[in-house]
Amino acid sequence: MTYTLATRISRGALQLRTIMMATTPKPQDKREGNISDSFVSLSGAARPPLPQRFLDLKRTLVDGHEGRVTQSWNRLLAELKNENKIISEKGPSVTPSLHFHDLDADLGRLRGELEKRGVAVIRGVLPEDEARSFKNEIEEYVKQNPHTKAFPPDNPQVYELYWSTPQLRARAHPNLLRVQEVLMKLWHTSDPESAISISQPLAYADRLRIRQPGDVTFALGPHIDGGSVERWELNGYGLGGVYNKIFEGSWEDYDPWDASTRVPAVIDNYNGLGACSMFRMFQGWLSMSTTNPFEGTLMVNPAIKLSTAYLLLRPFFRPIKDVNQVSPEEYLAAKNWEFAGSEMTSELQGATPGHGQELNAVLHPHLDLDHTMVHVPAIKPGDYVVWHCDTIHAVDKVHKGNTDSSVLYIPVCPVTESNAKYLVRQRNAFLNGTPGPDFPGGRGEADHVNRHTEADLRSYADVEGLRAFGFEKLVPRTLDTNGATNVTSLANEILGF
Question: What does the pLDDT look like over 431-467, one tens digit per residue?
Answer: 999 999 988 888 999 999 999 999 999 999 999 999 9
The rounded percent of the chain whose pLDDT value lies above 70 is 90
- Domain architecture of the chain: domains with CATH: 5-187+205-413 (2.60.120.330)
**For residue 114, what are the contacts with CB-CB under 8 A and spacing of at least 6?**
96, 107, 120, 186
In whole angstroms, how large is the CA radius of gyration of the chain?
A: 22
Q: Within a 10 A sphere around the Cβ of 463, how many other Cβ atoms?
A: 12
Check pLDDT > 60 for residue 102.
Answer: yes
CA 238 to chain centre: 17
CA atoms within 13 A on the CB side of 42: 27
Q: Under a CB-based contact definition with an 8 Å cutoff, are residues 391 and 301 in contact?
A: yes
Q: Within a 10 A sphere around the Cβ of 128, how many other Cβ atoms?
A: 15
Q: Write down the pLDDT at residue 366.
A: 98
Q: Under a CB-based contact definition with an 8 Å cutoff, are residues 121 and 286 in contact?
A: no
User: In this structure, which amino acid lies at residue 453?
Assistant: T
Dist CA 489 CA 497 (whole Å): 9
Q: Under a CB-based contact definition with an 8 Å cutoff, are residues 310 and 434 in contact?
A: no
Mean of the pLDDT values across residues 297-316? 98
Check pLDDT > 50 for residue 118.
Answer: yes
393-395 and 150-151 strand pairing = unpaired
Q: Within a 10 A sphere around the Cβ of 189, how many other Cβ atoms?
A: 20
Q: Write down the pLDDT at residue 39.
A: 58
Check pLDDT > 60 for residue 496.
Answer: yes
Give me the phi and psi of 393, to 5 degrees please.
-145, 165
Q: Under a CB-based contact definition with an 8 Å cutoff, are residues 437 and 203 in contact?
A: no
Residue predicted with more confidence, 275 or 21: 275
Check pLDDT > 90 for residue 99.
Answer: yes
Dist CA 471 CA 131 (whole Å): 25
Q: Under a CB-based contact definition with an 8 Å cutoff, are residues 492 and 484 in contact?
A: no
3-52 tens-digit pLDDT: 455 444 443 333 333 333 333 333 446 556 544 455 566 556 667 899 99
User: In this structure, which amino acid lies at residue 386?
Assistant: V
176-217 tens-digit pLDDT: 999 999 999 999 999 999 999 999 999 999 999 999 999 988
124-156 tens-digit pLDDT: 999 999 999 999 999 999 999 999 999 899 889
Q: With bands split at pLDDT 50, 70 and 90, how would you rate the model's confidence at 1?
A: very low
Mean of the pLDDT values across residues 348-359? 92
Q: Under a CB-based contact definition with an 8 Å cutoff, are residues 425 and 213 in contact?
A: no
Q: Biggest alpha carbon distance in the chain?
A: 68
The rounded percent of the chain whose pLDDT value lies above 90 is 85
Kindly report the average pLDDT of the chain as a whole number.
Answer: 91
- The 3 state secondary structure assigned to the chain is CCCCHHHHHHHCHHHHHHHHHHHCCCCCCCCCCCHHHHCHHHHCCCCCCCCHHHHHHHHHHHCCCHHHHHHHHHHHHHHHHHHHHHHHHHHHHHCCEEEHHHHHHHHHHHHHHHHHHCEEEEECCCCHHHHHHHHHHHHHHHHHCCCCCEECCCCCCEECCCCCHHHHHHHHCHHHHHHHHHHHHHCECCCCCCCEEEEEEECCCCCEEEECCCCCCCCCCCEECCCCHHHCCCCCHHHHCCCHHHHCCCHHHCCCCEHHHHCCCCCCCCCCCCCCCCCCCEEEEEECCCECCCECCEEECCCHHHHHHHHHHHHHEEECCCCCCCCHHHHHCHHHEEECHHHCCCCCCCCCCCCCEECCCCCCHHHCHHHHCEECCCECCCCEEEEECCCCEEECCCECCCCCEEEEECCEEEEEHHHHHHHHHHHHHHHHCCCCCCCCCCCCCCCCCCCCCHHHHHHHCCHHHHHHHCCCCCCCCCCCCHHHHHHHHHHHHHHCC
Q: Under a CB-based contact definition with an 8 Å cutoff, are residues 420 and 296 in contact?
A: no
